[in-house]
Structure 1
Amino acid sequence: MTLTVLAPGPLTTAQDLGRPGLAAQGIGRSGAADRAAAALANRLLGNPPDAAVLEVTAGGLAVRADAAVWVALTGARCAGAPYAAPVRLSAGAELRLGTPVSGLRSYLAVRGGLTVRPVLGSRSTDLLSGLGPAVVGVGDVLPVGPGTGSWPGVDVAPVAEPADGLVVAVRPGPRADWFAEDAHRVLTATAWEVTGESNRVGLRLAGPVLERARDGELPSEGLVRGALQVPPSGQPVLFLADHPVTGGYPVIGYVADADVDRCAQLAPGRTVRFRR
Structure 2
Amino acid sequence: MSAGVRLEVLAPGAYASLQDGGRRGWRRIGVPWAGVLDSRLMRIANVLVGNAEAAPVIECFDGGLQLAARGGAVRVAVAGDATLEVERGGERVPLAAWRSLTLADGEVLRVRRLGAGRIAVVPVEGLALPVVLGSAATYARAGLGGLGGALSGRALAAGMRLASAAASGAPERVLPLPPPLDGGPIRIVPGPQADHFTDAARALLVEAEYRVTAEADRMGVRLEGPVLEHAGAREIVSDATVPGAIQVPGNGQPIVLLADAQTAGGYPKIATVISADLGRLAGCRPGQVLRFAAVDAVEGERLARAAEAETRALLASVRPLRGEGVDLAALYAGNLVSGVVHALSDEYRPLPDVEHGPDGASS
TM-score, normalising length: structure 1:
0.92
74, 82, 90: which one pairs with 1:77? 82
Checking the alignment, whether the CA contact within 8 Å between 1:166 and 1:263 is kept in structure 2 is no
- Choose between structure 1 and 2: higher strand proportion: 1
Letter in 2 for 1:106: A
CA drift at 1:45:
1.7
Percent of residue pairs bearing the same amino acid type: 37
Cα deviation 1:147-194 (Å, max 9, x = unaligned): 78x98987x54222555x551111111100010011011101122111
Closer, same or farther in 2 for the Cα pair 1:209/1:32, shift >3 Å? Answer: same
- Look up the match of 1:228: 246
- 4+ runs deviating over 3 angstroms: 127-130, 145-148, 150-154
Where do residues 258-269 of structure 1 align in structure 2 (5 Å cutoff)? Answer: 258-269=276-287
CA 1:153 to 1:141, structure 2 compared with 1: closer, same or farther past 3 Å? Answer: closer
Question: What does the per-residue CA deviation read over 1:8-43, in whole Å, with 9 as the maximum and x for residues that have no partner?
Answer: 111110000110000111101110011110110001
Judged with a 3 Å threshold, the aligned counterparts in structure 2 of structure 1 residues 224 and 138 are, in CA distance, closer, same or farther, namely same
Contact kept? 2:42, 2:54, Cα under 8 Å: no
Of 22, 27, 38, the residue aligned with 2:26 is 22
Question: Which position in structure 1 is the counterpart of 2:14?
Answer: 10
Q: CA RMSD in A?
A: 2.0
Residue 168 (structure 1) aligns with: 186
SS of residue paired to 2:117: strand
Partner of 2:136: 123
Identify the match of residue 64 of structure 1 among 63, 68, 71.
68
Give a deviation string over 1:79-106, Cα, whole Å, max 9, x none: 5443111212112111011121221011
Gaps of 5+ in 2: 86-94, 147-153, 295-363
- In structure 2, distance between residues paired with 1:82 and 1:136: 24
The alpha carbon displacement at 1:50 in A equals 2.4
CA gap 1:39/1:89 in 2 versus in 1, 3 angstroms: same
* Aligned 8 A contact 1:76 1:161 in 2: no
How many residues are paired up? Answer: 272
2: distance between equivalents of 1:22 and 1:145? 31
Question: 1:75 is aligned with what amino acid?
Answer: G
What is the TM-score when the length of structure 2 is the normalising length? 0.71
Cα deviations across residues 47-75 of structure 1 (Å, max 9, x unaligned)?
Answer: 11221110011110111012212211012
Q: Take 2:176 and 2:41, find their aligned partners in 1: how far apart are those partners?
A: 11
Q: Secondary structure of 1:97's partner?
A: strand
Conserved 8 A contact 1:69-1:110 = yes
Would the aligned equivalents of 1:46 and 1:151 in 2 still touch at CA under 8 Å? no
Corresponding residue number in structure 2 for 1:35:
39
Distance in 1 separating the partners of 2:105 and 2:67: 12
Aligned residue number for residue 177 of structure 2: 158
CA distance in 2, matches of 1:103, 1:190: 22
Distance 1:55 1:119 in 2: 18
Higher relative contact order (CA 8 A, sep 6+): 1
Distance 1:128 1:191, change over 3 A: farther
Question: Is residue 2:49 matched to residue 1:45?
Answer: yes
Residue 178 of structure 2 aligns with an amino acid whose one-letter code is V
For the pair 1:138 / 2:158, whether they are aligned, the reply is: yes
Runs of 5+ consecutive residues of structure 1 not aligned to the other structure: none
CA contact (8 A) 2:76 2:123 kept: yes
Letter of the structure 1 residue corresponding to residue 128 of structure 2: T
Distance 1:147 1:36 in 2: 24
Per the alignment, residue 270 of structure 1 pairs with: 288
Are 1:247 and 2:252 matched, yes or no? no
**How far is 1:130 from its partner?**
3.3
Which one has a larger percent helix, Structure 1 or Structure 2?
2
Return the alpha-carbon distance in structure 1 between the equivalents of residues 263 and 210 of structure 2. Answer: 24
